[in-house]
Copies of this chain bind each other. A is one copy, B any other.
Amino acid sequence: MERKTRITAEDGKQEITIAREFELPLELLFKAHAEPDIVEQWMSNEYTTTKLLKMESKKHGGWQLESKDGKGNVVFRANGVIHEFVPNKKITRTFEMENTPFGVQLEVYEFEQLTDDTSKLSMHVIYESVAQRDQILKLPFAQGINMAHNRLQEILSKLK
């Protein structure tokens, strides 16, 4: 099946870009990245439940999230800081998967209106090294983000 979320990773670089167009108004796409209860919904799935332990959606805010499996075991925890927060336009933040060797990522999210009912998310992710980027790309990363974005589309469509 075609993946709607496109990842571009040039050889030998320590960055990737991720792009996805949504059948959602810009404001709703942005909310899906700023409001904790909405983030928790699309970042949860049939196997794991994601909770935001901290979500200060503002310039110089911090965030932390945790995912648990059906038995209540923590399977994923990540945290970071928000460098810039411009509603309906841009979020620049850091991202770190806790207890992994992948280091800290700098992430630039840009939100763009296409039509009244469609919008685009462009992500630019910069890693501490080429090696760390390449390790992350070996995870089922592309599938994971595509699935999460499919869920985002599905869940937010109900809020339109």
Of B14, B15, B92, which contacts A104 at CB under 8 A? B92
Of B15, B54, B81, B128, which contacts A124 at CB under 8 A? B128
Contact string, A84-97, partner B, CB cutoff 8 A, digits 1/0? 10000000101010
B128 and A106 within 8 A (CB): yes
Whether A4 is near chain B, meaning CB under 8 Å from some CB there, is no
Give the residue among A15, A106, A129 with the most B Cβ atoms within 10 A. Answer: A106
In A14-67, the 8 Å CB interface with B consists of: 14-15, 54, 59-60, 62
A94 and B108 within 8 A (CB): no
Of chain B, the residue at the smallest CB distance from A95 is B83
Of chain B, the residue at the smallest CB distance from A106 is B106
CA distance A80 to B15 in the complex (A): 20
Contact string, A122-158, partner B, CB cutoff 8 A, digits 1/0? 0010111100000000000000000000000000000
Give the residue among A59, A81, A108 with the most B Cβ atoms within 10 A. Answer: A81
Nearest 6 A/B pairs, CB to CB? A60-B62, A81-B81, A106-B106, A83-B94, A81-B83, A92-B104
- A residues with CB within 8 A of B: 13-15, 54, 59-60, 62, 79-84, 92, 94, 96, 104-106, 108, 124, 126-129
